[in-house]
Amino acid sequence: MQHRAIHLITAAWMAALASFASGPIHLKTRDLTAASYPAAEALQAPSQGPGHLLVQFAGGPSANDLRELQRRGALVVGSAPDGGITISADRPISLAGLAVEWSGPLLAEDKISPLLSQGGANGGPAAVVIEFHPDVHMRRALQLLRSANVQILRHPDLLPNHVLANATLPALTQIAAFDEVAYIFPASNDLIQGNHVMACSGAEMTAGTVGQYVLVGNGWSGAGAGVVQLEYVFAQMSAKLPVAGAQSEIVRAFQEWAKNANVQFVLGAGATGNQTVSVMFAEGLHGDNYPFEPGSPVLAHTFFPSPTDPEPLAGDMHLNEDQDWHIGTDIDLYTVALHEAGHALGLGHTDDPNTIMYPYYRLGAGLSSGDIAGVQALYGSPDTVTPPVTTPVTPPPSLPAPAALSLAIANPISTSVTTTAASISISGTASGGTGNLQVVWSNSQGGSGPAAGSANWSVASVPLAMGVNTILVVLSDAAGDSASQSIAVTRQAAATPPVTTPPVTTPPAGPPSLTIASPAMTIVSTSASTIAFSGTATAGVTSLTWSNSTGASGNATGTAQWNVPAIPLLVGTNTITVKAYNASGASAWRAVTVVRQ
């Protein structure tokens, strides 16, 4: 257990701190205000501490407040919406002269999850996760727990400041009184049984990570009063995943929330726009207070909506490029994006292991009724509700169902293009859907924007970087439905003059390579239960295999001209990878994402 990095307040961050009117701090146990806090302990003494203190600032902590706290010897170890921060001090410190509304230690009764105290534990032992404040050394944490009557359990995926334990409610009450303990909540069955899980340390705020004791953030402005439209942009994608497939998984996660709440996600034009979720894979320092340290178990972190976090950072989702990213298997991008998108919408962590917003979640987890209740509490239910399926009746002829959204790229005609030009023009057609259609493009190498027109759309000039540019075109309609197509454009250096003396001998077989001719697109949507694949491979290839991220695999028939007549598909996203091998065992691969409706 390493000492966790403490967040230094830098000059750049001071300028970015948001200010707002403060209400109560929403803890899991209750809404906390100066009036509801025992007066004898609140801001009566001229100095406070030592230990961990919750401090609420009128209008949020200013940059000067944070700098002054740091100068007086306090570390910021956590934060809460509505102006709350948690600080740690190893000696009594004065809060005089700061815009502090009130302060005091977190009370023991506010550190035990309501699910534990009301859960009918009958005093019998329950499996729990004990969260310590992030500046507490694990040696000290274990020493404290040994002094109480708890049985410590192991799990490889625990966060650095978490301990898994069995304890009775009286023992938990004793533990909660320790200043070093931040919160205690129920352990999931996956934790108890040692199953692999993905972990999140919490939503980020500029001053510190949101503690597990905090109930919820606030939604984006306009939440609860009509549909809230959010934009997303892909600022930097992972080198470990096919760009179009990874983008499609992240968009699928956004749409899962949008289906269940009065929010819409549309592709935006720039990472610095307001109400924009900028998605970035990053390593090490990447422009905020939370570098992804080498070897860190952190998968990702996401900032809360404005004004809890300042624009343009608000809502941004950062994914740790150092992790072993996959589509459909661990570490599964869709599952992580689904959890993090909840934070981008303003949701905090729950204590309920059945929700995706519990800090530990597993591959294949979807939104549960608890998650949907949480997001609807902020935004309301979706405006456009799909009518329930009932006994078929003859539909009124005046109200035809909207045709399915359809998007085609007509020019360039091929999905894989090579050019020496610095830009390319693309155009195509769009139809179906509800209301106005919008077409936007983005390039995996950077750049994005709207297309001109909709039914017949065009982009005059997409700038190209050297190498492979995956250009994603997304069509969306007024109901929030979307369709996408992508093309790969390889930009090469201008051709050099031909070599005057060509080699006379046959060159040795190069590394294997293959193409997938059918399906022609890298993202395909179908309602069929199987799909056929075919393509070509270079002369040295001796065998080809295929595998589907949803489980099946097999061999292709043929080599130079190969095919697979029927790959089984599960409903949802199937990432199908075809691998070609040569006689020496070297391999190459291509993948297609097939979404079965």
Binding site for Zn ion (CB under 5 A): 200, 288, 290, 318
Q: How far apart are CA 250 and CA 237, in angstroms?
A: 11
* Coil vs helix vs strand at 397: coil
Residue placing its CB nearer to Zn ion in the complex, 290 or 546: 290
- Quote the least distance from Cβ 280 to Zn ion, whole Å: 7
DSSP secondary-structure letter at 221? T
- Quote the least distance from Cβ 445 to Zn ion, whole Å: 21
User: What kind and span of H or E run contains 254?
Assistant: helix 243-258
Residue 280 has phi, psi (to 5 degrees) of -140, 125
Residue placing its CB nearer to Zn ion in the complex, 287 or 565: 287
- Quote the least distance from Cβ 227 to Zn ion, whole Å: 25
Q: How far apart are CA 96 and CA 88, in angstroms?
A: 17
- Quote the least distance from Cβ 88 to Zn ion, whole Å: 22
Residue placing its CB nearer to Zn ion in the complex, 48 or 289: 289
Residue placing its CB nearer to Zn ion in the complex, 234 or 290: 290
- Quote the least distance from Cβ 359 to Zn ion, whole Å: 6
Residue placing its CB nearer to Zn ion in the complex, 43 or 363: 363
Closest-CB residue for Zn ion? 200
Sequence-distant (6+) residues with CB within 8 A of 500 are: none
Q: How far apart are CA 138 and CA 135, in angstroms?
A: 9
Residue placing its CB nearer to Zn ion in the complex, 179 or 311: 311
Distance of CA 348 to the CA centre of its chain: 13
Residue placing its CB nearer to Zn ion in the complex, 69 or 200: 200
* Coil vs helix vs strand at 34: coil
- Quote the least distance from Cβ 203 to Zn ion, whole Å: 6
Residue placing its CB nearer to Zn ion in the complex, 339 or 579: 339
Q: How far apart are CA 315 and CA 295, in angstroms?
A: 25
Residue placing its CB nearer to Zn ion in the complex, 235 or 556: 235
Where do the DSSP E strands lie in 109-260? 126-132, 151-153, 162-167, 181-186, 198-199, 228-236
Q: How far apart are CA 188 and CA 360, in angstroms?
A: 8
* Coil vs helix vs strand at 19: coil
User: How is 309-365 classified by DSSP, letter by letter?
Assistant: S-TTTTT-EEEETTS--BSSSSSBHHHHHHHHHHHHTT----S-TTSTTSSEE-TT-
Which burial class, exposed, middle or buried, applies to 337 when counting CB atoms under 10 A from its CB (0-12, 13-18, 19+)?
Answer: buried
- Quote the least distance from Cβ 261 to Zn ion, whole Å: 18
Q: How far apart are CA 76 and CA 289, in angstroms?
A: 12
Residue placing its CB nearer to Zn ion in the complex, 338 or 464: 338
Q: Computed over its alpha carbons, how large is the radius of gyration of the chain?
A: 27
Q: How far apart are CA 3 and CA 137, in angstroms?
A: 6
- Quote the least distance from Cβ 549 to Zn ion, whole Å: 24
Residue placing its CB nearer to Zn ion in the complex, 178 or 290: 290
- Quote the least distance from Cβ 367 to Zn ion, whole Å: 14
Residue placing its CB nearer to Zn ion in the complex, 190 or 288: 288
Residue placing its CB nearer to Zn ion in the complex, 301 or 491: 301
User: What kind and span of H or E run contains 175?
Assistant: helix 169-176
CA distances from 146 to 126, 162, 270 (A): 17, 15, 52
- Quote the least distance from Cβ 279 to Zn ion, whole Å: 11
CA distances from 456 to 406, 437, 451, 594 (A): 12, 11, 10, 26
Structure-token pair, residue 587 = 């391999």
Q: How far apart are CA 237 and CA 221, in angstroms?
A: 28
Looking at the chain, the number of H-run helices and the number of E-run strands are 9, 35
- Quote the least distance from Cβ 31 to Zn ion, whole Å: 22
Q: Are 353 and 188 in contact (CB under 8 A)?
A: yes
- Quote the least distance from Cβ 18 to Zn ion, whole Å: 17
- Quote the least distance from Cβ 301 to Zn ion, whole Å: 5
